[in-house]
A and B are shown apart, each in its own frame.
Chain A
Amino acid sequence: MIDPALPLYGDLADPTPKIRVRGLDFFYGDQQALFSNDIDIAPNRVTAVIGPSGCGKSTHLRVYNRIFELYRDQKAKGDVLLNGESIFAPTMKLLELRRRVGMIFQKPTPFPMSVFENVAYGIRLHYAVPKSELEGRVEEALKGAALWEEVRDLLHKPGTALSGGQQQRLCIARAIAVEPEVLLMDEPTSAIDPIATAKIEELVDVLKKNYTIVIVTHNMQQAARISDFTAFFFKGYIVEFGETRQIFTNPKNKKTEEYITGRFG
């Protein structure tokens, strides 16, 4: 049915996927949470991950930057390739992987420091940048996150003093400041108001020019609005993956149809 030479998203985007996931299983202790997940993430596209609560969306995302390894009892099996290289390979440096694959969380997580220092944090971590250049790079990152105009006079205020939506864009600025290739967003708008949400959705649309974006969302309208591809998760399985328009207008799987028409979830 599908040409095996093509990625799982077919011929609708770059034929070499940014991330290729094959046979991914995931365990919390003895409990299996993901079952042989296969997916390809297209470069410079937005891939949405949808599904009911507890179906493994966030768990799946948290494998990509190996953040799950912070917890002793969590284990992943199978393979995840970033630009064709396994993220579990011994040659893959963990800290470098996390620079290349940035993450935005459900709640804004500004660090306890000024707006400027928040953005400078990662730059200082990964690059030896002279002070004169640092300011320029912070400004650039804030502009990239569509936040510069709002905070240019507040750079030395604590990051926590900003509004929720601004804090989330600050986190995006912080993530893009280290020049990642992929941005993982784990329900980035679930804790902020509709107007701030709209701003972030617009931003995602701009960001995909430079970054590959994977976004977990509870909000099906959001997935339909901003994503190019959609994966529907159910009970740890990827039930259906394809072009967003097709998933929402003509789902092939009955479970997908039930979910997007609001029959459950």
Chain B
Amino acid sequence: MRRLREYLSEHFETTFRGFTVLCAAVVLIIMAAMFFNLAWNARLAIGQFGLGFLWRDMWDPALNEYGALSSIYGTVVSTVIAMTVAVPMSVVIALFLVELAHPTVSKVVGAAIELLAAIPSIIYGMWGLFVFAPLMAETVQPFLQETLGLENVPGIGRLFTGAPMGIGMLTSGIILAIMILPFISAVMRDVFAMVPAVVKESAYGMGSTTWEVTRKVTLRYGIQGVVGACFLGLGRAIGETMAVTFVIGNAHRISLSLYDPGNSIASTIANEFAEASDPLYLQALIYLGLVLLVMTFVIQMIAQWWVVRLKKSMGAGL
């Protein structure tokens, strides 16, 4: 024991450095292990369907035929809806909190937003199914059909056709938006608050309005943080399972209408894992998991590359 202590005090620098390297390496090892594990446990399905799995629109456990297309489609569409709703709203909320609101209001609303971010996703799921879906069916969806339906807006109107059942792609996209909204706006608020007062002052000093200062200076100054916040939200939306499973409808089908039930990768896995008795069925689900992992991985890489590029072109500050 004493000798160990002596050894450590003598070689503290190198020991400590070794320890940090080890801890950092664990991250890489876990990541690699995850990829390898998923791929290994899905080897039957990978062998059977190959890369074609990605664009096969078929999911039939009775025939043992599987394809990921409808799940990928559902994941992408629900995430796109979520981001379309959540990002602009988050920017506006963060701006209100930092630039416009009275400090007391800002504190109260800010705290509420953080509380919202802490609600477990199962609660969102149940709320979505029992409260939000009926509301969508009775009010929102008929309204959208009347205003943006096919008769009024050809093209986009296709998105709002079909029976307003309250459960489906649109509802799950909006639930996702509500879930990631507090998260994105909290990060954006911090980013906006970090922009130095003197930079904003000099923009105001040029005779800019609050909106101009925000759009051209604050937003650009914090662009790295803003993009980072969006991608964190995107990462959460793309893999969100519980809430989506409750309201998406869980049908393996691709439909242009946002009112129709669909599925996402995560909801499919959660929904069908328990009943996957056939090895190929189980492996197809694991293969789906691998697809999701690769998707999120690619998205994060794009985010990082984008942030670096932005920094270079604008010299953004944060």
Interface, chain A (partner B; CB < 8 A): 65, 67, 70, 72, 94-99, 102-103, 105-107, 109-114, 121-122, 125-126, 158-161, 171, 174-175, 178
Contact = CB atoms under 8 A, between A and B. Distances in A.
B206 A109 contact: no
B201 interface: yes
A161 B202 contact: no
**A interface: dominant SS:** helix
Interface in B148-173: none
A107 B209 CA distance: 22
B14 interface: no
B203 interface: yes
A105 B204 CA distance: 12
A96 B202 contact: no
B217 A99 contact: no
Given A158-B313, A159-B315, A161-B315, A109 B198 contact: yes
B313 A95 contact: no
A99 B212 CA distance: 14
Contact of A125 (B199, B208, B220, B316): B208
A102 B223 contact: no
Interface of B: 102-103, 196, 198-209, 212, 216-217, 220-221, 223, 312-317
B206 A125 contact: yes
11 contacts: A70-B204, A102-B206, A105-B201, A111-B199, A111-B216, A111-B220, A111-B221, A112-B223, A159-B315, A171-B202, A178-B206
Nearest to B206: A122
A74 to B, nearest CB: 12
B194 to A, nearest CB: 13
B309 to A, nearest CB: 12
Given A105-B201, A112-B217, A114-B314, 20 more contacts: A67-B201, A70-B200, A95-B208, A98-B207, A103-B202, A106-B198, A107-B198, A109-B198, A109-B202, A110-B315, A111-B216, A111-B217, A112-B220, A112-B223, A112-B315, A112-B316, A113-B314, A125-B208, A158-B314, A171-B202
Contacts, number: 79
Contacts of A161: 315
Contacts of B312: 158
A217 B208 CA distance: 27
B205 A102 contact: yes
Given A112-B220, A112-B221, A65 B316 contact: no
B205 A65 contact: yes
A182 B221 CA distance: 28
A113 B220 contact: yes
Contact of A98 (B196, B199, B206, B220): B206
A98 to B, nearest CB: 4
Contacts of A121: 206, 216
A224 B202 CA distance: 27
Contacts of A94: 207
Closest 7 CB pairs of A and B: A158-B315, A160-B315, A98-B207, A109-B202, A103-B205, A95-B207, A99-B207
A100 to B, nearest CB: 9
A109 B212 contact: no
- Which of B103, B201, B220 gathers most chain A CB within 10 Å? B201
A105 B209 CA distance: 19
B296 to A, nearest CB: 29
A103 B223 CA distance: 25
Contacts of B196: 109
Contacts of A107: 198
Given A96-B207, A125-B206, A70 B201 contact: yes
Given A109-B198, A160-B317, A67 B217 contact: no
